A = this chain, B = another copy of it.
Amino acid sequence: MNSSANSSAPDRPIAVIGGTGPAGTGLALRWARAGETVIIGSRDAIRAQQAASAIQQKLGGQANISGMENSEACAAADILMLTVPFEGQAALLKQLKPAITPGSILIDATVPLAASVGGRASRMLGVWQGSAAQQAAELVPKEVSVVAAFHNVSADRLNGDAPLDCDVIVCSDDPDAAQLTRELAARIPGVRAIDGGKLENARIIEQITALLIGLNIRHKGHAGIRITGLPPTAYR
């Protein structure tokens, strides 16, 4: 991957797959506001276009944002941000596989909450591969790098205007894809991006979401996490 991979550009759009849910629209809003080119993907192209229009309106018509059916969004971008409930993740990836361009980066924020099968959102399912991100890595074409990130960011806060107060821990077996993802995370005001090591560590990051949901229920908040005690070089 050459050095141009280190920053996304108008000619390198981000497709937010399953992007009409709260996390997806929040990330799309933040990235569009930061000047990124964003494509919202949805099963339903009309819904995707409506979500894109709503963000366009919020940003005063200045955003580079559009809406497409998920497969078309995949084909039109090589940075894919997946924000779907766990119960839809595997089926969607199998369906999208032919549309994913080799060399793409798939950023996965899926959390295997027990809510996926009717349980509590503060409890987790065990995933055979270790994490939802590792499941994703099994399902995408070989030439696609999977990155786990953005699990612990409050969707409510993403959809607001204030800077966030949280860190994004990024896990991947592809250092270049991880770096690009950390740079995308750092485009969101208030977010610090931290290298969390290999993709296998995603299982812990995913579980932290269940903890934060439990804290939100118990304390009525929009919890996030900050990692303390690391040198400044750890945040980038």
Contact = CB atoms under 8 A, between A and B. Distances in A.
A23 to B, nearest CB: 15
Contact of A215 (B157, B194, B207, B223): B194
Interface size class on chain A is: 35 or more
Contact of A226 (B122, B201, B225): B225
Q: Is the interface of A mostly helix, strand, loop or mixed?
A: mixed
B221 A231 contact: yes
How many copies, total? 2
A166 B223 contact: no
Given A166-B229, A224-B229, A225-B225, A211 B201 contact: yes
6 contacts: A122-B201, A166-B229, A219-B231, A223-B230, A224-B228, A225-B227
Interface of A: 122-124, 154, 157, 165-166, 169, 194-197, 200-201, 203-205, 207-208, 210-212, 214-216, 218-231, 233-234
